[in-house]
Structure 1
Amino acid sequence: MAEKMSCPFCQTQVEYAIENSPDWYRDPSLPVYRIDCHDKCRQYWLEAISDPHPQIDPAIVTFLDSLNDEQRTFVSESTRHACDNGILIVYNRNILQYLVTDWHYVKAAVTLYELNNVSFQISGIGFDVANMLFFLDTADARFTLRLHRAGTSIHEIRSKIYWLQALWNEASIRTLSPVPGRDGEMIQCPSPNDLSPRYATVYDWIPGETLHGLPAAEKTPELIRKLGIMVGRMHAVSETLELPNWFTRPRYDTDWITAKIEAALGSDTDTSAEELAKLSSLSLRFSQFVAEHGEERDVFGLIHSDLEPHNIIVSDGQPCPIDVMEFGFGYYLSDILTLSRHFSEDEQTIFFEGYQEIRALPTDYPQQLALFEEIRVL
């Protein structure tokens, strides 16, 4: 018979079990309390200690006792949204602290915008405690708020906004549209209580369904063609976009890829001779690719860098790229591969045709994509 207790987050009666932490956690040998709060928080784990007997880590209990009702509700709802999006969480005191600290920042940030009667919750889409994404809801609209990692350069964020606006202004690609604050600035800097300032940005909501979650019947040839056109337009913008001198984004360049290959070559002393030969061949073929193409703007420029199906919203039949946290300078082939590898052979043909309505692909692009696929899986 299952044991029962009050949920540490929402205080309802729940079932719990003491077990080892999940295999995917940082230390599977740690004891944890698995909390099954089906109606409210769903399922989560709390780190425990086993001396003198199994119990929830006292640091967690002390921290939760310090929270007010609004903060507890936020933790409970955040857990539910994460679980509903397939994210499993083992909480320790630090993760709970991150969540509540973000609550303070967002509560302060929403006052910097012309938004009234705002409620907010974590998106539950990903659980990046350093760059948390929130949904903001007013009486008649929804927005997203990105709370940026502490220490993020304002120029990195300005660069993201610059690119997003260029995609719309120059290629009519609907994507995240930044919302100005009360002072007219796109980037706000809340500093609640005694906490250090952090940057926040708000974007208009794009209604629709992710490409990943779209029913198969709606993934029509026409939509696949539009996806190819969208990626082609993104790269066409990148090829000609003039960048201000403050523009700064990561570079997924020749040095970055070469370092990735070299790390794989030296990562495991048990690597077989056959595998080493494959990696050496990959290094040679990539060097040949670079010698032929270099980093000219027709092959290398601003890319999304995470163009997975869950980062594309299909809204009114149009694909809209979102979540550009990783965007930077890289090979266009990387974007093309990231998305097209999810398609069937027939769908890939349609996708490439759509892309080439905007930009030409090299005659040997299948071989080039195969090369980048080998690099991707390293």
Structure 2
Amino acid sequence: MQDNIYDYIAKAALAQYGMAEGERYFLGHSGSVTFCIKTQSEKFLLRIHQPKSMLQGDVWQRPQVIESELLWLTALRHSTEVVVQKPLKNLQDRWLTQVLADETGEMFYCSLLHWIDGNNLNGQRTPEQAYQLGLLLARLHQHSSQWQLPENFVRPAYDKNRLQAALSALYPAVLQQLISTEDYETLKVATYQVQGMIETLSQTQNIWGLIHADLHEGNYLLHNDELRPIDFARCGFGYYLYDIASSLQYLLPIVRPSFFEGYQTIRKLPEHYLQITEGFFIMALIEVFSFHVNNPQEHKWISESVPYIVKEHVHPYLEGESFLFAKY
């Protein structure tokens, strides 16, 4: 029944782009419901902004927040060589399309993006691919640091308050015995230490700005030796080193130096960047665990991963030992 509603919403939304006859292919449902749309000449990505779990937080579903993501994508496509999915306006000249569900009276917000070609990479990244990923992230940060934000631009911030919220959101895993009390307390101590580090940092434009915040291996495509970022749905304001740490957690330690090498061909890294990145690495891990904690399919992964992370990353961090180039 739910799938039928989404198909109805998709068809009604496409009519507002003059594409009512476009072929619809359901792709998946996570942060939003996605369809591949095919017309006679082009392909598009339709997103119905309805997360699988509303526990992820309503902030991501606010129209102004979604529209701000689309504005950044438009600016990136217009002002950089980075290939991203360019948003389309509907026939009313609006970025967001509203569809009212007849049965429930619920309002759904939809957006339409141009499809871009490319393939997800299988296996682990090579040093050259890690280098290219560093280049890509540096290009995004370069644009972010120079772009004049439009009026009423709103995206969430990856700051010390968000870290605190992520830690709190993870506590139900203790009650469900997915995480031991001891490991949670260790994560809490690390959180306080990272928050203290954040308090020493300024929010000047060379180190803080718009970030992708979710550039894992599923969120960039390879096309003719070029990496193309996709899924900016979690983008927000944050430290560029947090964005780096968020991506590094998915790379083997042996290729992480290549990532930094690629990044620094475009942007200079701040002093003591390694220690700061390791703090943000811990923050990014807590963010990922909290994001998945309400998904029963991820419970086994959480219960197996947290003890390893605490032993191999958090304890060394708290003891002042570097782990970024040694531990995966």
TM class by smaller structure:
0.7 to 0.9
**What is the aligned counterpart of 1:375 among 283, 290, 304?**
283
Q: Are 1:186 and 2:88 counterparts?
A: no
Higher helix share: 2
CA contact (8 A) 1:108 1:191 kept: no
Alignment of structure 1 residues 132-147 onto 2, 5 Å: 132-147=33-48
Deviations 1:110-135, CA, capped at 9 Å, x for gaps: 222233741102113xx23x720111
Q: CA deviation at 1:220?
A: 5.0
The aligned residue for residue 248 of structure 1 is 154
Alpha-carbon distance in structure 1 between the residues aligned to 2:95 and 2:10:
15
Residue 281 of structure 1 and its aligned partner are, at CA, apart by 4.4
Residue 210 of structure 1 deviates from its aligned partner by 1.5
Report how far residue 193 of structure 1 moved.
4.3
Establish whether residue 106 from structure 1 lines up as the match of residue 14 from structure 2. no
C-alpha contact 1:135 1:142 (8 A) present in aligned 2:
yes
Which residue of 1 is the match for residue 49 of structure 2?
148
Give structure 1 regions of 4+ aligned residues with deviation exceeding 6 angstroms: 262-267
Residue 22 of structure 2 aligns with an amino acid whose one-letter code is V
Contact 2:12 2:20 in 1 (8 A): no
Where structure 1 has 5 or more consecutive residues not aligned to the other structure, the ranges are 1-96
Q: Offset at 1:203?
A: 1.0
Tell me if 1:271 matches 2:177.
no
Which shifted more, 297-306 or 99-108?
297-306
Q: Is the 1:174–1:321 contact (alpha carbons within 8 Å) kept by the matching residues of 2?
A: yes
Secondary structure of the residue aligned to 2:181 is: coil
CA distance, structure 2, for counterparts of residue 263 and residue 205 of structure 1: 34
1:199 maps to 109
Change (3 A) 1:239 1:107: same
1:322 is the counterpart of 2:230: yes
SS at match of 1:190: strand
- Give the whole-Å Cα distance in 1 for the aligned partners of 2:91 and 2:198: 47
Q: Secondary structure at the match of 1:244?
A: coil
Match of 1:56 in 2: none
Match of 1:338?
246
Equivalents in 1 of 2:37, 2:146: separation in Å? 35
- Partners in 1 of 2:273 and 2:2 — Cα distance? 45
1:108 and 1:296 mapped to 2: Cα distance?
Answer: 44
Task: Give the unaligned 5+ runs of structure 2.
Answer: 52-57, 287-328
- How far apart are the structure 2 equivalents of 1:263 and 1:185? 35
User: Is 1:157 aligned to 2:93, yes or no?
Assistant: no
Amino acid at match of 1:202: L
Give the TM-score taking structure 2 as reference length.
0.73
Q: Could you say if the C-alpha distance between residues 105 and 201 of structure 1 is closer, same or farther in structure 2, counting changes exceeding 3 Å?
A: same
**Structure 1 residues 261 and 180, CA, compared in 2 at 3 Å: closer, same or farther?**
closer
Letter in 2 for 1:111: A
Query: How many residue pairs get matched?
Result: 273
Query: Residues of 1 paired with 2:23 and 2:261: CA distance?
Result: 44
TM superposition shift of 1:284: 4.4
CA distance in 2, matches of 1:197, 1:291: 40
TM-score if structure 1 supplies the norm length? 0.64
- Name the aligned partner's letter for residue 102 of structure 1: Y
Deviation at 1:265, TM superposition (A): 8.4
Which is further off, 163-172 or 278-287? 278-287
